[in-house]
Chain A
Amino acid sequence: MPEKLSSLSEERIAYLEGLVRQARTAAAVFTQCTQEDVDRIVKPMVLAGLEQAQYLARLAIEETRIGVLEDKAIKNMVATEFVYNYVKDKRTVGAIREFPERGLVEVAEPIGVILSLTPITNPTATVLFKCIMAIKTRNAVIFSPHPNAWRCCFEAVRIMYERAVKHGAPEGVFTCLESHDLQDNAYLMRHKDVGLIDATGGPSAVKAAYSSGKPALGVGPGNTPVYLEKTADVNMAVVDIITSKTFDNGTICASEQTVVIDDEIYDLVLKKFADLGTHICNEQEAALLARTLIDPATGFVRPVAVGQKATDIARVVGFSVKPNTKLLVAPIQGVGREHPLSAEKLCPVLSVYRAKSVDEALKVCVDVNHAGGLGHTAVIFSSNNEIIRKFGEVINAGRIIVNSPGSIGALGGVYNDMVPTFSFGCGTGGGNSTTDNVNVYHYLNIKRVARRTPAHMWFRVPNQIYFNMNAAENLREFASNSTIIITNPALEQFGHVDIVRRYIPPETPVHVSVIPDAEPEVKVVMQGVEALNFYKADQIIALGGGSVIDAAKIMKLKYESPQADLEELAAPFLDIRKRVVRYPTEKTKRARLIAISTTSGTGSEVTPFAVLFDKQNGRKVTLADYSLTPDVAIVDPQFVMSMPKGLTADTGIDCLTHALEAAVSIYASPYTDSNAMQAIRLALKYLPIAYEHPRDEEARSMMHNAACIAAIAFSNASVGVNHALAHAFGARFGVAHGRANALMLPHVIAYNASVPTKFMPSPNQRAYSAHKKYALIADLLGLGGSTVEEKVKRLITAIEQLLDQLAFPRSIADLGISREEFERAVPDLVKIAFDDPSWRSNPRMPLLKELEELFWSAYAGRPAAQRAARERTA
């Protein structure tokens, strides 16, 4: 029960409480009805409304003395027949809309009890309309009609109620206040069991509804501007305006109020108005109308004038018109309080304004729109689409009616395909919650039942991968009119460039561009692009490690799409499918990129990533897009046979880390798993051999394949927190990437294998599985163990043994970094690692504190296997 209002008697409160209880019970019972039940009730209600349309119109006229009998009868018919035509096939019970491909179902939930305020201008039509909507949506309504239209509304509610209950609606579904106390609405609006207030009426009713603190549909007054533009069909426009403005003596709030007419057709338009039974007011008559019709204290039309005949208005105001005059047209010279007739008039009085230009016409329409009509309705007559478009942009109205009557057009379903209604939402401009033509969906809570939908996955690899010894011979297959080899000085010295040149068809012009052996800078990339342009290259051969291949990827991007903005393309993203920045698809030139890797680690020959060094800001920038992936990858071990031991170890551990992180990534799939597992197996077996016996062709070949296969896995599943830690640490202390990865790896496995503090959201993961994945890897490697924990421990031990074999430092401390120096660095390292996108696919979401702990674990180099065992036990 709301707080007691001082002027309400106990009896009145008991009466209002009884109404609410009755409605609440009816609404509760109504929830049991099916769609078929409500449809069975609605149709006979509509027929009852149609049968009684004229009767109710007569009652309304007799009681309110507003409007035109015939038009009120038509309104009653529109409110029933047209609304029924719109709602009859609409689902409003249970599942109302289904989107199987999105796993979404929308389910209707009734509101319950609706308090409905109805206006004096359209009393019975509004009641009929709201009754049909309520039954269609299984709601109960308490009607509170305008006090001066109470009897006709009560009768309309009675007719609808009896027909509804007869066909199965619950008793009490509609009630109507039997008399009117000003405090009734205030009491009911604040009642906890009233779910929604639907207030159609004057500004005070709407304001009260919105001020009550309840959800409300408040639909209030308008002030419809009309632009009659010089290209319009003038005959049609004048007839439409007269039809609309005289309909029910102008009581529909969407009816035309001020017509702004282009200078070129102004006289013609006024003559047409006069020819069709309109009185054109002279200056004195217009001044009289302004003084008499509009209350200077409020700026609103005086209630006594609302819905009266043009002849009666002229008589009262004090000038004479022909007996059959249907409309008074009054010229105005401006808009605002000093031009009273620019306000809403709600009677057959229409203002006209002569505009010297389109610009002026639009401005005056905007002024009228802002003088009490924001959000409501506006009308334009024109055949100029550009002006119609502009009008639609500058006018703030929920309904912008084109080349048709405002009032009947706004009602919907007659002159256009808008939803039929008797409540016009006016948006925030009118203090309303909607700009819609209020309809059944506003009487429903729509629930969304959303099923889990697995994210679409992908598996993308270069079009062609050639591998095994002398795979570079396949270069002969690629015709080219101009080829550029991108490489670095060392590889040129080793003679690798000469080997490649031998495999290129002799007729192909070949040029060599040597770039520094370091992560490419923008300057280096742009020099390469210049060379590509100069030689009009159609083929790029990137011969080198990750840096060279990455440089070639970016050169190709800028060569084919010079408009590509590298800084913008490096923008961060969470999900590559939803990223904000898109890579260019328009290409001015095309060049084939063939990547020949000369290290067995990064796998850049098959990845969609490229790292650029931003010298100006002293940072690395990672570009990622599948369009960067080379067209052809050549994995030929002859180019790695002479790799030094240190580089073999560093790149080999990088490869192993890629595979291990891809295997447990939240984007892992059966496709990436098969590659990741195979790469792990190859790396564990052949890396020690390649390290100890660099000329072992099989070991080199298998490690070269492992790097490429691991890269295929992480290109599609991404990496994890190990890379985030290694990036931050490596950059700060100048430690090679593979070496930095090695320092973190055992600790990260132990971390991922334990129960996460925070799970990573991932629709494709049905359970946390990182520990099981590690156990599966241990099984694949034949490491033994009978439990998951034991297998994880054995995997960590195997990796630690491998690191020992490769003579890696086993702690950050072993690198000679003092505890104090590291302690100073840790806060920054944690921040940088957290900003690194690599961990976004990690199975476990790292907390800042956990990143710090991982750094310290790596510093101490405490055997991770023991730590894992301890954590499990704990």
Chain B
Amino acid sequence: MATIAVMFKIDGERVVHALQQAGEKLDTANGQVVLDFSAVHRVDPAVLSAMEELAGIADGRGVKLALRGVNIDVYKVLKLAKLAPRFSFLS
């Protein structure tokens, strides 16, 4: 079955909101969802919580989540918070 990748641009100023919106649209995706993090320069606990929640929803729907353009500081936070395995990463 062919997969259709859906791309969401994450607003660096309203990351939690953007992630929630992406979560709402997960049903429209079939296969993979790409979250463009290139505008996200910093994350806080609320963002991590929203990401964890989104990863849970995606798991439930069989959708793979990929993050694109994650900067190295945010990537390190995801590693330390043990969230990195929940996503794949695109450059």
Contacts and interface: CB of A to CB of B under 8 A. Distances in A.
Contacts of A31: 73, 76-77, 80
Contacts of B46: 171
A142 interface: no
Contact of B45 (A29, A112, A193): A29
Interface string A17-29: 0000010111111
A172 B44 CA distance: 11
B14 interface: no
Interface in A717-741: none
B41 to A, nearest CB: 9
A134 to B, nearest CB: 16
Nearest to A171: B45
A170 B45 contact: yes
The dominant DSSP class at the B interface is helix
Contacts of B25: none
Contacts of B80: 24, 27-28, 31, 112
B43 A29 contact: yes
A204 interface: no
B1 interface: no
B77 A26 contact: no
A560 to B, nearest CB: 62
B44 A170 contact: yes
Contacts, number: 40
A32 interface: yes
Interface residues of A, number: 14
A708 to B, nearest CB: 58
Contacts of B44: 29, 170-171
A27 B42 CA distance: 14
By size class, the interface of chain B is 10 to 19
Contacts of B81: 24-25, 28-29
A759 B27 CA distance: 59
Contacts of B76: 28, 31
Nearest to B81: A28
Interface in A142-184: 170-172
A24 B79 CA distance: 11
Given A24-B82, A27-B80, A32 B73 contact: yes
A315 B54 CA distance: 67
Contacts of A25: 45, 48-49, 81
Interface string A103-125: 00000000010000000000000
Contacts of A170: 44-45
B74 to A, nearest CB: 8
B45 A26 contact: yes
Interface in B17-31: none
Nearest to A24: B81
A171 B44 CA distance: 8
A637 B80 CA distance: 75
A172 B73 CA distance: 20
A170 B80 CA distance: 14
21 contacts: A22-B45, A24-B81, A24-B82, A25-B48, A25-B49, A27-B80, A28-B48, A28-B76, A28-B77, A28-B81, A29-B45, A29-B77, A31-B73, A31-B80, A32-B43, A32-B73, A32-B77, A171-B45, A171-B46, A172-B45, A193-B82
Given A28-B76, A29-B43, 4 more contacts: A28-B48, A28-B81, A32-B77, A172-B45
Report, nearest first, the 6 A-B pairs whose CB atoms are least far apart.
A28-B80, A28-B81, A28-B77, A171-B45, A25-B45, A25-B81
